[in-house]
Each structure stands twice: as structure tokens, then as C-alpha cells.
Structure 1
Amino acid sequence: MLLLLIEDDPVISAELQMRWQGRGWTVRTCARLAEADSALAQADVEAIVLDLNLPDGDGLDWLARFRRRDRLTPVLVLTARTRVVDRVKGLSGGADDYLSKPFAPEELDARLEVLCRRTKVARGEELHFGRLTWRRDLGKAFVDGQPINLAPREFEVLGLLMHRAPHLLARRTLMDALAERNLEVAESAAENYVSRLRRKLTGSGTQVRTLRGFGYMLALDDTAPGSTAVD
């Protein structure tokens, strides 16, 4: 397993590098975000451990830029920012997991193993419905081979809908699935993602239908059941 550790504390960096190399993992360490960009340009990594308070910028800003080009590589934020609002910002900003300092090294190892195992299962997953194609490995969805401009949360919601299509995706199931992906969103926020996704699928031959009080489903335009769609 090739890990990229972005951490400017030399003690933490050295201790984690020694620990992980002892487990047989290959580790590349960077103390600055610019160094991380250079490292990623030279090699594909299986996971990234990211500190937020770095000498040349805020890790969350870097993560937002990284997610625009890579939605799949797991990122675990390791930071001294312990407030709930910071954790929510980190997860909403593209982190797959969030661990506060001080931390137990055993817990960090376990979380990394889970993230990498989940990513290996996800790579190569491809779903089809009507004219839609959903590619987990690319982090993109397509209509007739043309990419749709989806935000990461919209991409995840579309994948959940396509897994169930043409059957109902219960609202509670949607919320639980997002929670499993460490996407902590309120029910109203999830409904906003569905609404935005619905608009972006206009002209695709597929509709997102809402069954009030139950959940959501994908349906082809010419075979859609008589449920009521709402924004």
C-alpha cells in the first residue's frame, strides 16, 4: 500500500512513517502542499493522510482542489481541529474520514485499512440505466457518453439511485448510505442534492421521481410511473 502523508510536524511524520513501513506499507511524506502536488504527479497513491494547518496553505482548500480532479482516492484528515463544525467542514469538503489529534495510532491504521478496502471494492464499478452510465473508477456519470457536471454528493446520490433503479430508494436508505460514506448531511440537504441532480438530468431521458413520504426512484421518461416529482 502506497500512502501519502501530508504533515508538517516532523515528530508525527517520522513516527508514522516508521510505523507504517514496519507494516510493509510504502510511505511518501510531505511537509507542504506544494510537495504533495509534486508527489501526486509522480505516482498514484492508495490513500492520503492530510493535516490541515500547513505552512503554505489550508489543507481544506487543497482538498477542494484535489477533489475536482480526483474523487476516488480516499483522504483521511488528521488534524488538531477538534470542533464538530470543523469535522463537518472536513467531511463536507471531500474528506472520507476525519481523526482529531491526539490520536491512537492503532485507530488510524484501522481507519486507513477500511478506506483502502472500500476503495478497492469500488474501483471499476460501472452502472447503466437508460442512456446513463455511472463510473465509480472515474468519479463521473455520462449521458450517451458525454460527461455530466456533477458535484461529488450528486454523483454519490445518482449511484445510489442507479443501484436501485427502477425500484424505490427509500429516503432513510439514502441517508444511511451517505452516513456510511462519512457524508454527514441533514435530511433537507439530501433533498437538495436530489433536487439539483434532477435538474442536471433534464434531457437525459431519465427522471428522478419522488414518492412523497417514501423516497426516490429513477424512471425513463416514457415509462415513468405516475408518482409526483417535487423540487
Structure 2
Amino acid sequence: MKTIKYTTKKPTVITIDDSPMMTNFLKVFLSKDYDVTAYNSTTKALKELSGGVVSPDCILTDFHVANDLTGLEFIAKLKEVDPIIPVLVLSGSCDMNQKIACLKNGAVDFISKPFNPMELNVRINNALTASSQLNQYRYAV
């Protein structure tokens, strides 16, 4: 008989946004269900991901982080470091070309601001569930 291990560890989510108000909101709201590490710079987050300082289950990044990598550039560089981490992109702009480019290049979701917080939580949970199922399949084969 298989033994099923249950864990009480919350999934780890990195948020990246240059707005202190949005960063604080995401941290407070998401902390109910996830361990949240917040960054205001895609470059700093990428550096810590590359160095193994953080190892998230999921990343939520703003598309436009002032004076930094765009969401699209971040996704491209992240895929060189860890192609498995699911990335969701937030954007105040509803530019369809940005959305399609992010999704084509590996984002699992693209969410327009303003967003419904409960919907955001469901989308993060869906990304985590899909990633977990994919990892279970990879290790089973």
C-alpha cells in the first residue's frame, strides 16, 4: 500500500512590482495561503533566483517594473535559470500584443489590472496545481 505524505508547508510565491502599495497589498492578501517573498525589481529577483537564495513554487510579476526588465524580458531570462517555475504576469495595460508575447514565451497566465483578488488567488492556485501535476508526472516516468 502506498503511503501518502501530507505537508502543511504553504507554497512559496514571489511577487515583483515596483508599486509599494501593490507590493504591500499582494503580500498581505496572498500571505493567507502562500509564503510570499516580495521584490520591487525583476533584476534583483532574478539575481536571487539564479543564486539559489530563493526557490519559489510560482512567480507573479508586473509587466512594467520601472527602470528594470519588462515582464517579457524577465520571463526569457528566468527560463534560462529555471524553465519549470510558473510565471503569471500582471499588467495595467491591456495591450493584446504584450499579452500574447508573454503567453507565447512561457507565462502561464496574464492578468489585467485592476483585478479581482479572489480571481487572482484562483489563477495562482491553478498554476501551482498544474505545475505540481506536471512535476509528479515527470518524476513518475
CA distance in 1, matches of 2:126, 2:85: 13
**Match among 108, 121, 126 for residue 114 of structure 1:** 126
Counterpart pick for 1:87 among 75, 94, 99: 99
Q: Does 1:33 align with 2:42?
A: yes
Percent pairwise identity? 24
Structure 2 CA distance, aligned partners of 1:63 and 1:18? 25
Tell me, in whole angstroms, the C-alpha distance in 1 between the residues paired with 2:14 and 2:57: 8
1:50 equivalent to 2:61? Answer yes
**Distance (Å, rounded) in 1 between the aligned partners of 2:96 and 2:26:** 25
Contact 2:13 2:34 in 1 (8 A): yes
- Hey, what's the Cα distance between the residues in 2 that align with 1:87 and 1:24? 27
RMSD across aligned positions (CA) = 1.9
What is the rounded CA distance, in whole Å, between the counterparts of 1:136 and 1:47 in structure 2?
Answer: 22
**What are the Cα deviations for residues 158-193 of structure 1, in whole angstroms up to 9, with x where unaligned?**
xxxxxxxxxxxxxxxxxxxxxxxxxxxxxxxxxxxx
Report the Cα distance in structure 1 between the residues aligned to 2:127 and 2:111, rounded to whole angstroms. Answer: 13
- Which residue number corresponds to residue 60 of structure 1? 72
* Cα separation, partners in 2 of 1:29 and 1:105, compared to 1, 3 Å: same
Aligned position for 2:24: 14
One-letter amino acid of the structure 2 residue matched with residue 28 of structure 1: T
- Provide the secondary structure at the position in 1 that maps to 2:110: strand
Displacement after TM superposition at 1:34 (Å): 2.0
Q: Partner of 1:57: helix, strand, or coil?
A: coil
> Is 1:72 aligned with 2:84?
yes
Alignment check: 8 A CA contact 2:16 2:60 kept: yes
Q: Secondary structure at the residue paired with 1:27?
A: strand
Is 2:43–2:69's contact at 8 Å kept on the other side of the alignment? no
Within-5 A mapping of 1:109-148: 109-126=121-138
Q: Secondary structure at the match of 1:116?
A: helix
**Matched length:** 128
Following superposition, the deviation at residue 136 of structure 1 comes to 9.7
Q: Which has the higher contact order (CA 8 A, sep 6+)?
A: 2
Give distance in 2, aligned partners of 1:82 and 1:17. Answer: 24
Taking the aligned partners of 1:136 and 1:119, their CA distance within structure 2 comes to 14
> Secondary structure, in 3 states, of the residue corresponding to 2:88?
strand
Alignment map for 1:159-198 (pairs within 5 Å): none
Structure 1 residue 47: Cα displacement: 0.4
Q: CA separation of 1:35/1:69 partners in 2, compared to 1, >3 Å: closer, same or farther?
A: closer
Q: Which has the higher strand share?
A: 1
Structure 2: distance between partners of 1:11 and 1:37: 22
Structure 2 CA distance for aligned equivalents of residues 64 and 24 of structure 1: 28
Q: Normalising by the residue count of structure 2, what TM-score does the alignment of the two structures yield?
A: 0.83
